[in-house]
Structure formats: structure tokens, C-alpha cells
Structure 1
Amino acid sequence: MKKYNVSAFLLLLCGTMWAQQAVKPATYSAKGKQVTVYTTDSISKKLAKTNNLSFSASKQPLETEISIFVEPQKTFQSILGIGGAITDASAEVFAKLTPEAQKEFITAYYDKDKGIGYSIIRTTIHSSDFSSGSYTYIKEGDKSLKSFNIDHDKKFRIPLIKQALKTAGKTTTLFVSPWSPPAFMKDNNNMLKGGKLLPEYYQTWANYYVKFIQAYEKEGMPIWGLSVQNEPMATQTWESCIYTAEEERDFLKNYLGPTVRKELGDKKIIVWDHNRDLMNQRANVIYSDPEASKYAWGMGFHWYETWAGGKPMFQNVQKVAEAYPDKHIMFTEGCVEKYDYNKLQLWANGERYGESLINDFNNGTTGWTDWNVLLDEKGGPNHVGNFCFSPLHADTKTGKLIYTPSYYFIGHFSKFVQPEAKRVSSAVSRSQLLSASFINKDGKMATVVMNTSDAPVNYMLIIGTEKVSETIPGHGIQTLVY
């Protein structure tokens, strides 16, 4: 009969039990917790600290009372971060600012304490519509890519990205997206107006992504990942390229995925990168192919499906998350279109951001990325006249930054929801309020509340047997930190 070392066995058993206990998530209790309230309204308050509250005992809420119910023990997706795109346009406008205004801009976006703490940066692989003109990194017709260089970006874009990364810190996620291959690689011989990548250039174009990422990383800018193609179903007047779901699947499976994996290792690849309307079909086609799916970290989406006159299709995000729980979902672009200088302070523009952020996170989104971080007083520069709004504009005549409502609505999330936070269960009892809740790695909770009605709303935040009572202004947004 085999003899056992009892002491060793007990030590092993105790160690196993300790390990199991160590990974057990801590139980959150609101009892005795203090709540700091930050409020933005359409009159005077902008991310202002407006109240300090203390949790007290809660009883059964009545139907006549408006409540937000948070259950911190029920956690969902981890949050990658929140941020915006540093485009050529943003960098060119930034370069026109005085050193004082440049410092103000960097602090406003990327400083976690004095600003709103952006933690995601998107940038373009050569030109987009938000460039002063079309360009690539090679001589036209260079199939070998021997002429590849990123000198163009070293003048404006790279210096701004480096400043942003330095201020934002090491947890920042930088990802890249192409708008079009060079003209000679496409069937319309044009970077603009759609067209498709010619099959004979699939491998060349995959190599181009690798060269770009390697060049940026050589400059000291770590690239987290890339998307296959910006808006692959839109024939635009600017840089654009069309891929059907099957074409994107096959390009990813046979060329881009293997090339990136071999040359760059585990960079994250984002598919789709277009509106919510067709995202389910794209997910079905790409994710149902195991060889393509293994290269896809997840799916990116935009909010422009409302171009057709309908409402935002938030439910499609949830349906992709439900159907493919092993994949990630990331909001990769959104802005308020049709620029009008007289609408820079239009409150509804900010509310559009708040509504999207709350619904997208509640439906499973892991990261949320705005479009241009900065534009001029004309909504550009843009080489095809597609002028848009951004959260911050610069008046290049006066040199002053213009803060729009969108900046503050985004800030109610980005300032208080840190990378690696988890979304937690949160629900409201009346439809005029929208809400989402998160728990950060340090155990701090953040609940964002948005009032879509004209009148102030009195509400209770209830966590288990504890509650606080607060009032949110009409069309206001609040973040409660506790």
C-alpha cells in the first residue's frame, strides 16, 4: 500500500483553498460610503462637483418614486477605455495654436486629474477626408513598397500623438485604420469614391499595414491593434474602399490575419468598423468561419446609420454581443455631422453622445472612440468639404479653444470610468432617465445618470439596503462616484 505524506497533503490542500479564496471577488457594500456628485447642465454647471451625499438605510421603493437600482456583484464586460481620433486635421489645427493653448488642449483631453482622462487614440493609415489632401506613404505604383516612409506624419500628427501618449500614460490604447489603399491597388484607380482592392494586391496591402505599424512603433508609439477597413460598405466622395462581408472575411483569413500574426504578433484586429445597421450580418459571415474568426479580436461600429432617417439601432450591438460572447465590441467612430458654426453650443449634440455612450456600454461595448479630437472654426480642414463637429474646436483667428457640450458629456464617462473597469448591473424605474454603472479596479463605483426630460427629476440611487437621494436638472447629466 502506498504511503502519503500527510503534512504535505494538508499544506497542498490549504494552499489550494487559499488560492480559491484569493480570487473570489470582493463583495461591494455601500454602507457608510460617501457619494460625490458631478453635474453638467445647459446653464452654468460643467462637470462641476455639486453634492456630497452619504448612503443611508433603504426600504422598499414606491411606484411613485423614481429609482436607479445598481447591483455591483453582477459584472459584465471589462472596459478598454474611452477616447477620440487624432487625425491629420486635428494635428494641423493643433499646430496653429499658441504653446499656452496647446498645453490647455493636451490637459483638457489627456490629463486624468485636470482633464477628462482620454485613454484611447485612433489614427489613420495615410489620408482620410480629414486631411488637407490625399496622400500615401509610397510612390504611386511601387508594388515592392521600397519607397515606404512616414515622413508626412512627422510634421504634425506624430508630435501630437506623442504628447497625448505622454500625458495620458501607459494604459492608453492606440489603434489604426485605413480609409483606402493607394490608387493603383484598386479597380477604380482612385483613392476616392469607393472601388475595391484588386486581388493581385491583397498581400501587398497586408504588408503595407505591417510597415505602417512597424514605422510608428519605431517612433516610440506602441500600436495596440488595427481595423481592416474604415466603413467598408460606403462609397464616399473621399478615401473609401468596398468589401463585402465575404471579401473582408477572405482578406482577413488569407492575407491580413496571417501576415499581422507572423510579423507583429498579437495585435488586435477589428472587423467591420462601420454602422450598427449591418453589423449583425458582418459578424455572422466572419465569425462563422473558424479560420477567419481566429484573427478577429472583435467588431468595431459607428453611429451614422441614422443617415437614412431612422433612430440609432442600439439593439444590434446587444444582439452581436449575445450571439458572439467570446468576441469584443468597440465603438470606433462617431461625430455630429453637417457642421454649422451657429450650433457649436447646441445641447442636443452633447445629449447624442450621452445617449450613445450609455446604450452602447449597456449593450456590451468594451471601448468607445469619438472621431476628431480637434477641428477649426470651419469644422475642418477637410479636403472634400465634409465638415463636422468635434468636442473641441479652435478659433484660429483668436487662438482660443471652444468647448462644446459633447466634451462634457463624454467627460462624464472618460474621467470616472478607468481602463479595466467593469460594467455592473444598473437599471432605472422611469424612462426619462438613462443610466450605466461601472466599478473601477480600485473598487470605486461610478454611476452615470442622464435626464432626457425638460424638468428636474428627483431620484434615488439604491444599492442593496442602502440609498442616496439626488436631483438631476432637465437635460442634465451626472456622475455619482462612491
Structure 2
Amino acid sequence: MKRFNYKYMIHLFILSVILSTAACQRDSFTASDNIDNQNTSGDVTLYVTSNNRAYDLTKLHLDYSNKFNMSPNTIHINTDVKYQSMEGFGAAITGSTCYNLMQMSKEDRTKFLTETFSENNGFGMSYVRISIGCSDFSLSEYTCWDTPGKENFGLQSEEKNYIIPILKEILAINPNLKIMGSPWTAPRWMKVNNLTNLAPHNSWTGGQLNPSYYQDYGWYFVQWIKAMQNEGINISSITIQNEPLNRGNSASMYMTWQEQQQFIKESLGPQLKAANLNTKIYVFDHNYNYDNIEDQKSYPTKIYQDATAASYIAGAAYHNYGGNKSELLNIHEARPDKELIFTETSIGEWNDGRNLSKRLTEDMKEVGLGTINNWSKAVIVWNLVLDTEKGPNRDGGCQTCYGAVDINSKNYQHITKNSHYYVTSHLSSVVKPGAYRVGTTGYKVDGLEYSAFQNTDGSLAFVILNDLNEGKSVTISDGKKHFSYEVPAKSIVSYKWKN
């Protein structure tokens, strides 16, 4: 009998090694893969990803426990405690992203976009960001009004041939998609080298907006929103300027809080209102540390000091290329009546961006749960799709960035998911627009981070990160039901169940 058990254990060990090796080798997927590869059902739906890809957004199911809960590792969800409502999760649909998607076969592109955006047959990403005019990931440099004279305003070829067709495909899959627009620069003829001598600044890079053109620039925003509406694309929100304290991007414009305050108060706010547009305005759209420019620190709250300007503003947007996410909490505490959203982060050569074993847990900690637990209502990462050569990109912009997914530039078929795709997918798959972040009490340990939500249909969602080198058995209780699951080492697990 002992001999039999010995052989049996050896066989089990060999089988587990084979299965583990096969799982670890599955480091990417093609558009033909099925995200729901588990033919099971249960009370609770889970999505699991581990940093060795043994679990790769794997869909599983659990049943509620019928045993009395005595677990010391219980996390209790309290829906009576409500924090912010959630707007959504997603990525930037840049010119480069659209170009890469257009190189795919129609069948593969539809499959990928369905898996990414469908609320019923995919991960349900629900919020994207596009540029108003060009960005450093556009196919050319342009705005929609490059020649003075209102008759010269118009959507350009990149928008007509790439951005709009892709957005329409996504909207056909998810009609509830929210879209944010952000300019990287005003038209060059509106720019000056500084606000003292007001000399023309005929460059895509740097410069400032000439106050004499505040009204024209407000008109530009309104016309762009209307032009997109005419294409069947509703713009949910805008920011005033991408990275307003960055003078050096390939397309950029410096814009202080004082300038944004006056521009919104004197021009953009009144013009949006007069046009009956309910597009939200978010200010700032830059780093937590305000690029260490002393008089620009607390940029949003300084704008809010003018009550008229503040009345037009929904809130503030942030990136994480400098500073700490705790700044979100500082701004929330200063003005709890204003919203916060997270609108850009990137992975690349500088942070070992294609190394999922390093980036998965770090990016969920900093970008996903970290921003949400500091009152962010949305999480939007940078390029959804770049090719394996990190492009297309522009001189003077980021040439070392990776996409949320990378597509093989030789065949435009083989796709590799990177950390940002997992972060946003884990959130969007269970946390739906309009959900409230709700209270939790109970089990806490260093290395576990989590957040709970209640969706508008009453269902509950829970997202947990295990950054430990061992699995952790966690029991979740909503006060009526409970269930347990061992969260694998170095993994993310998202849960959803009916309340």
C-alpha cells in the first residue's frame, strides 16, 4: 500500500509540473481565443490573473458556502457606507492604436474589440480617451483648425479614416461607452512664446495660448464636440490641455492654473452652456507632483477658488509620471464636491513594461486599486494597442512606450496582453458604470489590497490584489452570504455576485 501511494504521488507531481509548465508558456493570445474557457456555473463569477500567466483572465465560478463562517480571514462588505460612484475603465484610442487595429483582419479586430469592450461577451471596458487634434501617438501633426477663419475648421483625415471608424466599431459593441477628448496643443496660430511679449509661436511644441484667442479656442472645443456628434459619437468629457506643465512633448502647450481658470470662466464654460452641451470639464490632466513647479502645486483647488469658473468644472484629472497617488486624497479632502479621475499612465522600457511578473501587481496597486481607493472615479491608461516596435510614434514623443497590448507588426494578428490590459479588464469585468465603492471591514494583511463595489443592478463586486509569494485563503461576506477562495500568489482576482 505504501508503495502504491508513493507511485501515485510521483505521477501526480509529474502531471502538475507538466500542467504548470504549459500554463506558464501561454503568455499571449490571438483574437480567436475564448475568454470564457470554463464550462461551469455558480453563484459567484471570478476572473483570475497571476503574474506567471498560469491564470490569464481565467473565468471561474464559486458557490456560496452553506457552512457557518468562522474564518478569521473574513472581509465584510458594508453597502451602507458609500464612497464615490464609478465612471468606468479603459484606455486611449490614439491614432497609433487605430492604425494598428486597422491592419488586423476584420474578423480578428471584431473579436479583439468584442473581448475588450462588450458588456455581455467581454470584459466591458467602458471609458476611452482620444486626442482633440494630434498627440505624440498620431500619424501626423495637426489640429482641426490649422488656418485662421471659421470656414477652415473641420475634422481631418486621421479622424475620418482611423479614429472615427474604430470608435464606431466599438460603439456598435458597447453603445454605453464614454469618450473623453483632450488636446495636446491649440492651433499654432493661437500660440505665443510667452504672455509678456506675446510673440507668435509657430510650433507644435511648447508656447502658450494667446489670451486674445480665448473666445476662438472656446468655439473650437464646441465645434469639435458638435462635429463628433454629427458622426454619431457623443463626447462625455474633455480636459483643457494634456499635461499643461509639460513644454517638451512633440505636441504640447504650457498652461498654468491661472490660464485655465480664466479660459474656462471667460470662454469655454459659457460657450458650452450656450450650446446646450453637457460635456463634463476636467481641469489639470497632469502629474501628482505638478512637475515640482512651486506656484502650480494644488493646481485644481486654485482654479476652484473662483466660484464662477468652478461652477463649470466637474473635477480634476491626473497622471502618475511624477509624485504620489496620495495627492488624490489631498485634493478630495480640499474639495470633496469635485470629482477626480485618472486619465493616463504608460508602461515602457523605463519600467520593464513587458515583464508581467513585475508589473501586474505593481500597476494594480498604483494605477487600479490605488487610485480608486483615493477617490478616483475612473481609470484610463495610455495606448490600447501599439505594435511590437512601440509604434507608430512621433519624433519628440514617447518612443519607448508599450501598449496595454502589443500586436505583432509582422502579421497584425498575434496579440500579447500587458499589465495595463489586465488592470483595466479586471476592474471593468465586474465594476460597472454607476457602481458605488462601498465599505469593507475585517481581514487585513500587508500584501493584500482590495476594494468593494455595489453595481446599479444591486450586484456586488470585489477586486483583490495578492502581492505575496504565497496564496491566501480569503472569505468574503456581504452580511447574507459568504464564500471563500484561495487567492493565488502574485495575482489579481475580481468577483461579482448577486446581492
Q: Which TM-score band (shorter chain)?
A: 0.7 to 0.9
- Is the 2:363–2:419 contact (alpha carbons within 8 Å) kept by the matching residues of 1? no
Letter in structure 2 aligned against 1:416: V
8 A contact 2:405–2:421 mirrored in 1:
yes
Partner letter of residue 435 of structure 1? Answer: Y
- Aligned mates of 1:114, 1:461 — CA distance in 2: 26
- What is the distance in 1 between the residues matched to 2:368 and 2:226? 32
Of residues 203, 207, 227 in structure 1, which corresponds to 2:215? 203
- 1:405-463 deviations in whole A, cap 9, x for unaligned? 43223211111111111111125510210001111111111100101122212222233
Q: Partner of 1:76 in structure 2? A: 83
SS at the partner of 1:156? Answer: helix
Q: After superposition, where does 1:364-379 map in structure 2 within 5 Å?
A: 364-379=375-390
Equivalent in the alignment of 2:152: 147
Find the aligned partners of 2:286 and 2:73 in 1 and give their Cα distance. Answer: 37
- For the aligned residue pairs, the C-alpha RMSD in angstroms reads 2.1
Shift of 1:234: 1.1
Deviates more, 1:123-132 or 1:66-75: 66-75
CA contact (8 A) 1:191 1:240 kept: no
Counterpart pick for 1:287 among 279, 294, 304: 304
What's 1:273 paired with?
285
**Deviation of 1:404 (Å):** 2.3
Q: Give the CA deviation at 1:237.
A: 3.2
Q: Which residue of 1 aligns with 2:260?
A: 248
SS in 1 for 2:154: coil
Alpha-carbon separation, structure 2, partners of 1:318 and 1:43: 33
Give TM-score, length-normalised by structure 2: 0.83
Q: Is the Cα contact below 8 Å between 1:182 and 1:190 reproduced in 2?
A: no
CA shift, 1:348, in A, is: 2.5
Structure 2 residue identity aligned to 1:115: G
Q: How far, CA to CA, are the matches of 1:165 and 1:462 in structure 2?
A: 36
CA distance in 1, matches of 2:151, 2:263: 23
The 1-side partners of 2:426 and 2:398 are apart by 28
What does 1:39-188 align with in structure 2 at a 5 Å threshold?
A: 39-41=48-50, 42-56=52-66, 65-140=72-147, 142=148, 144-152=149-157, 153-169=159-175, 171-188=176-193
Residue in structure 2 matching 1:399, options 412, 426, 444: 412
Alpha-carbon contact 1:58-1:462 (below 8 Å) kept: no
What are the ranges of 5 or more consecutive residues in structure 1 without an aligned counterpart?
1-32, 307-312
Aligned to 1:192: 204
Match of 1:331 in 2: 342
Q: Do the aligned partners of residues 190 and 437 (structure 1) sit closer, same or farther apart at CA in structure 2, a change above 3 Å counting?
A: farther
Structure-2 residue corresponding to 1:21:
none
Question: What is the distance in 2 between the residues matched to 1:382 and 1:264?
Answer: 36
Aligned-partner Cα distance in 2 for 1:224–1:411:
21
Change (3 A) 1:405 1:225: closer
Residues 1:443 and 1:376: Cα distance change in structure 2 (over 3 Å): same
Residue of structure 2 equivalent to 1:409: 423
What SS does structure 2 have at the residue aligned with 1:291? helix
CA distance in 2 between partners of 1:104 and 1:404 (Å) = 18
Q: 1:154 is matched by which residue type in structure 2? A: K
What one-letter code is carried by the residue in structure 2 that aligns with 1:378? E
Q: Is the 8 A contact 1:280 1:319 kept in 2?
A: no
Q: Is the 8 A contact 2:114 2:122 kept in 1?
A: yes
Deviations 1:288-334 (A, max 9, x none): 1101100101111111115xxxxxx2221112222212111111111
Secondary structure of residue in 2 paired with 1:330: strand
Partner SS, residue 360 of structure 2: helix
Seen in structure 2, the aligned counterparts of structure 1 residues 54 and 249 have a Cα distance that, compared at 3 Å, is: same
Q: 1:97 to 1:354 in 2, by over 3 A?
A: same
**2: CA distance between counterparts of 1:236 and 1:58?**
61
- The runs of 4+ residues in structure 1 deviating greater than 4 Å are 56-61
Alpha-carbon offset, residue 133 of structure 1? 2.1
Contact 2:340 2:375 in 1 (8 A): yes
1:35 to 2:44 alignment: yes
- The structural deviation recorded for 1:179 is 0.5
Point out the more displaced range, 209-218 or 423-432: 423-432
Q: How far does residue 345 in structure 1 lie from its aligned partner after superposition?
A: 4.5
| Deviation of the 1:271 alpha carbon | 0.5
Q: How far off its partner does 1:280 sit?
A: 6.4
Tell me the TM-score normalised to structure 1 length: 0.86
Aligned residues: 437
Could you tell me whether the CA contact under 8 Å between 1:280 and 1:320 is conserved in 2? no
Q: Is the 8 A contact 1:347 1:405 kept in 2?
A: no
Q: Which residue of 2 aligns with 1:5?
A: none
Alignment partner of 1:410: what SS?
Answer: helix
**Matched residues in 2 for 1:374 and 1:320: separation?**
32
Query: Counterpart amino acid of 2:100?
Result: V
CA shift, 1:338, in A, is 3.3
Separation (CA, whole Å) in 2 of partners of 1:123 and 1:349: 25
How far off is 1:57 after superposition?
Answer: 6.0
What one-letter code is carried by the residue in structure 2 that aligns with 1:185?
Answer: M
Give distance in 1, aligned partners of 2:425 and 2:140.
Answer: 31
Cα 1:115/1:35, change in 2 over 3 Å:
closer
Match of 2:357 among 330, 343, 347: 347
